[in-house]
Amino acid sequence: MLLGAMAGFGAWHASGELLVGLLAGMLAAGLLSLLHAFVTITLRADQVVSGLALTFLGAGVSAVLGAPLVGLAVPPVQEVPIPVLSGLPFLGPVVFDQPPMVYAGYVLVPLAWFVINRTRPGLHLRAVGEYPAAADAMGVNVYALRYLYVFVGGLLAGLAGAALSLVINPGWLEGKTAGQGWIAVGLVIFAGWDPLRGGLGAYFFGVLRRLPLDLQNPALPLFQNATLGRFLDMLPYAFTIVVLVLGSREAVRKRLGAPAALGIPYVRGQRG
């Protein structure tokens, strides 16, 4: 996400095109994800160790390459109201008067659910995560599919990072994501690997992050307390820690719906 945020902002500032920035952020993160795929799929290294190393690498590279971008300005992305729907009471301005990236989220979440649960590529995806030996016996290329979906995951992470630096809070500074990538990891466990529950959880976390700003309204004197504001800011991260601790137990992971082969390198012909 950090690499996507940095590359996306740099590409947008250089080109002046939002789409170029989004694509650059996705590509940068996708290429970095291929390194993770090589280490974990080809070299069969531990996925957690590789992921942590990749986190430090991405943070360091984005900080170094993004140093010249600090302080640069780009125009904010304007909201695009949807006719009629944006005029609905309460929900209209909140849901249907947003930047285009928000609407993309409305589409991507159900699309991901449909592809995973209702299509043959989705069946193959679930197979290589649940029982790769059976998928291999059916002629599915386990290694190629795992490479593909790690790359797709990297593209989406880059899109998330680029959205932060281009749409949500335009600009770049070191550590732009402020740990929100870890919230994404916690959301996956919280959602039981279900895109629809993950989307709802993400919007819930978004409400928690926005709540401290809204409660600073002078009309709400009860909430004009710095300590309370810091407590509300902490809630998404505290909840993420709890979810990660609980989800680290194998028995809990199975109950939550984690893929059976999660974190286990596949070796063709190996049983067990």
Tens digits of residue pLDDT in 56-79: 999 999 999 999 999 898 788 889
Q: What pLDDT is stored for residue 29 in this prediction?
A: 97
pLDDT for res 220: 54
Arithmetic mean of pLDDT over the chain: 86
- Give the pLDDT confidence of 228-266 residue by residue, as tens digits: 667 767 777 777 777 667 655 655 555 566 788 888 899
pLDDT for 43: 95
pLDDT at residue 202, rounded to an integer: 87
Residue 179 gets which letter from DSSP?
A: T
220 φψ region: left (φ > 0), alpha (ψ -120 to 50), beta (else): beta
What is the rounded CA–CA span in Å between residue 95 and residue 97?
6
3-state secondary structure of 98: strand
Tell me, what's the pLDDT at 201?
Answer: 85
The pLDDT, as a whole number, for residue 249 is 61
CA nearest neighbour of 117 among 193, 185, 201: 193
Kindly list the distances between the CA atom of residue 143 and the CA atoms of 38, 137, 267, in Å, as whole numbers in the listed order.
Answer: 10, 13, 10
Q: Are 125 and 118 in contact (CB under 8 A)?
A: no
Q: Residue 60 has what pLDDT?
A: 95
Q: Point out which residues pair with 81 in neighbouring strands.
A: 97
Q: What mean pLDDT do residues 69-91 have?
A: 88
Q: What is the CA radius of gyration of the chain?
A: 20
**CA distance linking residue 203 with residue 205, whole number of Å:** 5
Determine the pLDDT at residue 268: 82
- What number is the average pLDDT over the span 5-29? 95
pLDDT band at 139 (very low <50, low <70, confident <90, very high): very high
Residue 25 near residue 7, CB atoms below 8 Å: yes
